[in-house]
Chain A
Amino acid sequence: MKLLKLVPDNTNIGFVKLRHWAFALTALLTVLAVGATFYKGLNLGVDFVGGLMIEAKFETPPQTDKVRTVIDRLGVGDGSLQQFGDPKTVQIRLPLPEQGGAGAANAIVEKARKAMTAEFPGVTFSRYDTVSGKVSGELIQNGVLAVMLAVIGIAIFSWFRYEWQFGVSTFVAIMHDVLMTLGFFAITQLEFDLNIVAAVLTIVGYSINDKMVIDDRIRENMRKYRKMDMKSLIDLSVNETLPRTVMTSVTVLLALGALLLLGGHVLRGFTAAMMLGIIVGTYSSVYVSSSLLISLGLSPATAEKKASKVNIAAQAERMGPRDDGARP
């Protein structure tokens, strides 16, 4: 049987040469994403803005206008409707009453239920969330804090583990991934809720994974080919790891694709965010973070200094019988 190879053997693509184009494109896309986030804003779910959300499932796909009229007639404030992939399911969002606490929220839900049942017999209410302004403020704070801590924590890890250039390049690439994801949510206006924060953190984790693998190879090659100049060394490392980068991204995308198509509407935004993040993360691993090392002035000398200081044992092992010049 002939085995599948997505990336041919011994590729030799000059990624480093492309870096100025890549940087320009990356900067442009990032600016666009940030601009979209500020200009269009995120469609924040009740988790983050507070309020009341009712999910109604109809027997037949309802006319959205009619549902809107019913909700408007209730006179409980500005409602908004949202439809998912499933045309029978509609999400209704209402502001939380300012006074009266739980009782008042209950009353609104009750009113909405009655009116909807009268207008659309057979409708069921499959989910509802109420989040007070105070809690939503805390949730948003924790979400932002979690993402920031993750990015900074990982950057510090790669700084201590390798050289500071690795820390900075990873940090830049990951911020890019996060901002692109935000931009995607601003443009598509998909609902941004707590689950999406988990998705963003996962993207951060995955993207780091990717960059670590390449960084690790760069470091290995820096010790192996002491005389090679940085540009060809990085190209070599990225090319050597390219089959793995592509294979893994494809497998993860396959798994997520199944989830996107079949996983039900609740997870759709979550999965979409992750798929985008994987693609963006792979791009930034290959084109941005490793090439950035050159711009940051990484040289074999700096690496050797650190390596001999930190990791003498590992180096000694490498001096052993293994033939370093095996590559033709």
Chain B
Amino acid sequence: MLNFPRWAVVAILLPLLIGIACAVPSFLPDTVVGQLPKFMQTRVNLGLDLSGGSHLLLEASTQDVAKQRIANMEEQVRTELRRGDTKIAIGDISSRDGKLSFMVRNPSQVDAAVERIRPLTQGAGLTGQRDFNVEVVNSSTIVITPTKAGIDNAVKGAMEVATEVIRKRIDEMGTREPTIQQQGDNRIVVQVPGLQDPRALKDLLGQTAKLEFKLVDVNANPAEVAQGRAPVGSEVLPYPTNPAGPPVIAVYRQVMVSGEDLTDAQQGYNQQGNEPIVNIRFNGAGGRKFGQVTSQNVNRPFAIILDGKVLSAPNINEPILGGSAQISGSFTVESANQLAIALRSGKLPVALTVVEERTVGPQLGADSIRAGLLASVIAVAAVAAFMFMSYGRFGMYANLAVAINVLVILGVMGILGATLTLPGIAGFVLTIGTAVDANVLIYERIREERRRGRGVVQAIEHGYKEASRTIFEANVTHAIAGGIMLALGSGPVKGFAIVLLIGIATSVFTAVTFTRLLVSRWVRAKRPTEIHI
């Protein structure tokens, strides 16, 4: 038990060294860490309570999504039935009780109307699931009811879009590493470190982003455009993904169609079914305007602009009538999907309300770090002195194990990208206290075995062996508590649980395995006949 072959020594020391190495970047200044290769940038993130900043929990109203969906459908139905050679006149449109119903004026056209509406009610996916049910009541009234799956899909879609819109908007603020995450079915968590005043953030989230369609000025001199100069009536806009070279493009100032006229954008495939495209759909007015402009500008490109930046500039291959269009290009499924999301994110698809908000000023955060560090240092020193006084040489082994343990916890947190919060620091301090417990168990057991008259080597072996089982069992139960905290806790509780769980795992290793290595080397080198413990 006290014999460690060379490979075992390596197997024990190597992970510890890696853990320690991963902890190092957390102590280096930003500028130095920035120069390290990516895999070495294993830093512990500071939680908002330490770095200062704002945490917002936004909630979307599901009813709102359903309502909007009905309104959209109404618009689409109107457009669809007014289109083509045989217009179908409708009346008595109502959208109460989460249903859309209307009367077809000429009863003989009811079947034709249903036939034409049907495609609108199909889900976007390939599952063939219907988003709406279409029924004919009293032989002339058509009732369109959203299905449960349809609403769920709509909420999911709306949340995806809202998250994306929020991310874009926060990026616009130029803040450092915001965290934006969907939580549950209809919530979004926004965390912005270093933000002192969440009012600005909240204002921003209430803003509407602007989507515009403009014609590209193909007559502009490319050299001048690259320098930011445009002919009269045109303007130069940034175009970060311009395939033609410079990240700018000249467009006419006049707005063809704006984002208010867009009702939907979805990733799809072209007719051959192999190339990803983006399907967009306009409302009535937008469709007419779009048809007009495209008829007059065949073979010229137009620009799709979001917040003053050009997203793409496709060519108009033919007049686009009927209110829907495809944007083709060299898309992958992902980039087409991204563009679709971006197009949809012209505006927040659903009203969001702030249900939770926590802001910590940077001063308090800095104070907390300082206080936490000081407390940790004192705690380590006090525990170390106490261990030395109680167990002498063996106490020092335990202290070394604790010091390494602290670094390894930081390293593991760095690797996982975990966040250190103020309760996390408390978790640290507690871990220091309990990590020592494993050593106390072992050493007390060795003392006992010595009192029972066992020889030095046997007592040590027995002490480690018997105590290890106890330590394992005790730590499993401790981990149960930690796991539950991680699963159910929010915010501060989670931060605490992460440190606790990592600490449980690493401390068993350092306190049991690592100290056993130290003790065995000492025993083999000195062959003591009496130990002071």
User: Which A residues lie at the B interface, using CB under 8 A?
Assistant: 1, 3-6, 9-10, 55, 57, 101-102, 105-106, 110, 124-132, 134-135, 139, 142-143, 145-146, 149-150, 153-154, 157-158, 161, 194-195, 197-198, 201-202, 204-206, 208-209, 212-213, 216-217, 220, 240-241, 243-244, 247-248, 250-259, 261-264, 266-267, 270-271, 274, 322, 326-328
Contact = CB atoms under 8 A, between A and B. Distances in A.
Contacts of A55: 364
Interface stretch (B154-162, B224-232, B305-313, B377-385): B377-385
Contacts of B532: 1, 3
B477 A264 contact: no
A263 B426 CA distance: 9
B426 A124 contact: no
B478 interface: yes
Given A209-B478, A250-B386, A256-B429, A216 B473 contact: yes
B430 A256 contact: yes
Interface in B173-225: 199, 202
Question: Which 3 residue pairs of A and B lie closest in terms of their CB atoms, listed nearest first?
Answer: A264-B371, A205-B481, A252-B433
Contacts of A197: 489, 493
Contact of A259 (B379, B389, B497): B379
A195 B361 contact: no
Contacts of B279: none
A150 to B, nearest CB: 5
A252 B434 contact: yes
A206 B478 contact: yes
B379 A255 contact: yes
B454 A194 contact: no
B469 to A, nearest CB: 7
Indicate the member of B447, B473, B481 with the most A CB atoms within 10 Å: B481
Contacts of A263: 371-372, 375, 425-426, 429
Nearest to B473: A212
B392 A135 contact: no
Nearest to B438: A248
Contacts of B40: none
A23 to B, nearest CB: 24
A222 to B, nearest CB: 15
A245 B447 CA distance: 14
B360 interface: yes
18 contacts: A3-B532, A4-B386, A4-B389, A10-B451, A102-B202, A124-B361, A127-B359, A201-B493, A205-B500, A206-B430, A206-B478, A244-B444, A247-B444, A248-B436, A251-B433, A253-B433, A258-B375, A266-B368
A271 B493 CA distance: 14
A254 B440 CA distance: 15
A198 B392 contact: no
A106 B482 CA distance: 36
Contact of A255 (B57, B433, B484): B433
A135 B390 contact: no
Contacts of A247: 390, 440, 444
Contacts of A158: 477
Contacts of B485: 146, 150, 198, 201
Contact of A254 (B383, B448, B469): B383
B422 A266 contact: yes
Contacts of A131: 355-357
Interface string B381-406: 01100110111100000000000000
A3 B426 contact: no
Contact of A271 (B378, B386, B426, B473): B426
Given A216-B473, A263-B372, A266-B422, A208 B389 contact: no
Contact of B500 (A146, A202, A243, A250): A202
Nearest to B378: A258
A124 B448 contact: no
Given A3-B392, A4-B390, A5-B390, A127 B357 contact: no
Interface string B471-499: 00111111011101100111111001100
A129 B491 CA distance: 13
Nearest to A54: B359
A243 to B, nearest CB: 5
A244 B47 CA distance: 35
B432 interface: yes
Contacts of B317: none
B118 interface: no
Contacts of A267: 368, 371-372, 422-423, 425-426
Given A154-B477, A250-B386, A255-B383, A149 B357 contact: no
A259 B378 CA distance: 9
A251 B387 contact: yes
A201 B358 contact: no
A10 B444 CA distance: 12
B477 A208 contact: yes
B129 interface: no
A205 B482 contact: yes
A10 B432 CA distance: 28
A67 B172 CA distance: 38
Nearest to B381: A258
A198 B497 contact: yes
B433 A157 contact: no
Given A252-B437, A254-B383, A261-B375, 11 more contacts: A10-B451, A131-B357, A149-B488, A198-B489, A201-B497, A202-B430, A205-B480, A208-B478, A240-B448, A244-B437, A259-B379
B367 interface: yes
B466 interface: yes
Contact of B379 (A10, A240, A254): A254
Contacts of B57: 135
A102 to B, nearest CB: 4
Interface string B77-105: 00000000000000000000000000000
A184 to B, nearest CB: 17
A132 to B, nearest CB: 4
B374 interface: yes
B491 A255 contact: no
Contacts of B354: 101-102, 105, 130, 132
A256 B379 CA distance: 7
Contacts of B473: 161, 212, 216
A94 to B, nearest CB: 13
Interface string B108-133: 00000000000000000000000000
Nearest to B361: A126
B492 A194 contact: yes
B489 A149 contact: no
Contacts of B361: 124-127
A253 B437 CA distance: 12
B231 to A, nearest CB: 44
Given A102-B354, A256-B429, A213 B474 contact: yes
Contacts of A243: 444, 447
B383 A150 contact: no
